[in-house]
Chain A
């Protein structure tokens, strides 16, 4: 069941999307989100969907993996849909007791669900096609100007890359401890919410102990290799901005402009 968590998982590959510069992809995601939230008509939504489909197609990421990534936020999507369905004022369609289903509500619910789904798919496409290293490097360089006002950009990106690096490790560890406790008859699956919370104790204590041990070991390993922060640090893999990055970026600028124009005309 823990294997369903795909957050931040990188699918190695060699598609155009994989080869784009991480900085370029980060800016594109920002543009994409902006476009997504600007869209408010049928035509603009169709355009956003088309662009998303195109993005998925060129990335060679199987649609199935993207859909699986939606699982953890399913509850949020469903709640959003229900709230929008029943709490939008407009022309009533059906009356269900105190609740009224309106035509505007249906349209808005569909749009909101689409918006969240596309938002998650778009951002997952970024983490699926970009290695965590490249991603944090890209972020660090994009936020570099903030160093002038004493924002610890390097430290933050280092923490982020470590956190990303340890997600799979911790999942694996959790799986292992869970199996070991199950072998002693621990039951994580049945019982009411209190029993289940209590049943988690044999899992959480060893997990915390090992997380702290790991953190300690990592700190020692870094210090013994003379790590002392970002000052004067060079990279093994330099990010290279190529012509294709400029082209991709321009395409998305045009895309955003198109969506803004559509909104202006109310489409």
Chain B
């Protein structure tokens, strides 16, 4: 299977040739298979935001190439513009980009730029609104009058309405209350399941990453530090802590128990796994 996105020797330097020169990402090689939910982790300044902006051609690599569906996204100006419809990018705090008079018009902005027919636009707006759980009576409201959580949904719907094959979300839950976070993540999961699209989720929450992702990519100072399934990545608990990242609470508790001499298997990162492992260990100890 051709990877849906491939990055080859990707490098990006900001303000090249000035005293503020900074290499944001360096020699990134990466394949992303279609249909996966990929979690991207890394602390602020690790290069993850720079990286995702390369995937839809917003940033042009200083060197290296990005392929979408096997083709270089910078082969022509039109191709770069078209790839933005296939690789939908939801920025951090996307509610600040709303501008239209009504919710409906704002969601329709992307599809309209794709030069779709009125009917097709209407269909997509309704579909996208449904995916993020916006009710029909909100469609004629001004987006600026709604609550923060609802604004966030509208902004996400604005990208989903383009029906991208790859959906990239940069911390979609930042600054929302726990219920809002859960809802939005569930919406994203539903969207992915129903449309069979690929989702890249940038997150700071290790628990969300552990729970949702098929694959985790850890960025550290412009490089990929770890890349693998959640069990593989979270088996490096100590290294992750060392580069200033968190690990899921369950992994941290497991590590603390191991330090105190409790024998637990490797790669525990969800509460359920921890419970089972602790029960097993307890039973084992009781038998002696």
Contact = CB atoms under 8 A, between A and B. Distances in A.
Contact of A187 (B88, B91, B113): B113
Interface in B67-94: 81, 84-85, 88-91, 94
Interface of A: 3, 11, 65, 176-177, 179-187, 201-202, 205-206, 209-210
A183 B84 contact: yes
B99 A185 contact: no
A184 B167 CA distance: 12
B85 A185 contact: yes
Contacts, number: 57
Interface of B: 15, 18-19, 53, 56, 58, 81, 84-85, 88-91, 94, 96-99, 109-110, 113-114, 144, 158-159, 162
B54 to A, nearest CB: 12
Given A3-B15, A179-B53, A185 B110 contact: yes
Contact of A206 (B81, B96, B114, B162): B96
B58 A210 contact: no
A244 B162 CA distance: 63
Contacts of A201: 99
A179 B58 contact: yes
Given A202-B109, A206-B99, A183 B15 contact: no
A186 B106 CA distance: 12
A234 B181 CA distance: 46
B96 A183 contact: no
Nearest to A185: B113
B29 to A, nearest CB: 24
Contacts of B97: 177, 180-181, 202, 206
A157 B96 CA distance: 30
Listed residue (B91, B97, B113, B162) with the most chain A CB atoms within 10 angstroms of its CB:
B97
A205 B96 CA distance: 10
Contacts of A184: 84, 109-110, 113, 158-159, 162
22 contacts: A3-B15, A11-B19, A176-B91, A179-B91, A183-B90, A183-B91, A184-B84, A184-B109, A184-B113, A184-B158, A184-B162, A185-B84, A185-B110, A185-B114, A186-B109, A187-B81, A202-B99, A202-B109, A205-B99, A206-B97, A209-B144, A210-B96
Nearest to B158: A184
Contacts of B84: 182-185
A237 to B, nearest CB: 24
Nearest to B164: A183
Given A183-B91, A185-B85, A201-B99, 7 more contacts: A184-B109, A184-B113, A185-B84, A185-B162, A202-B99, A202-B109, A210-B96
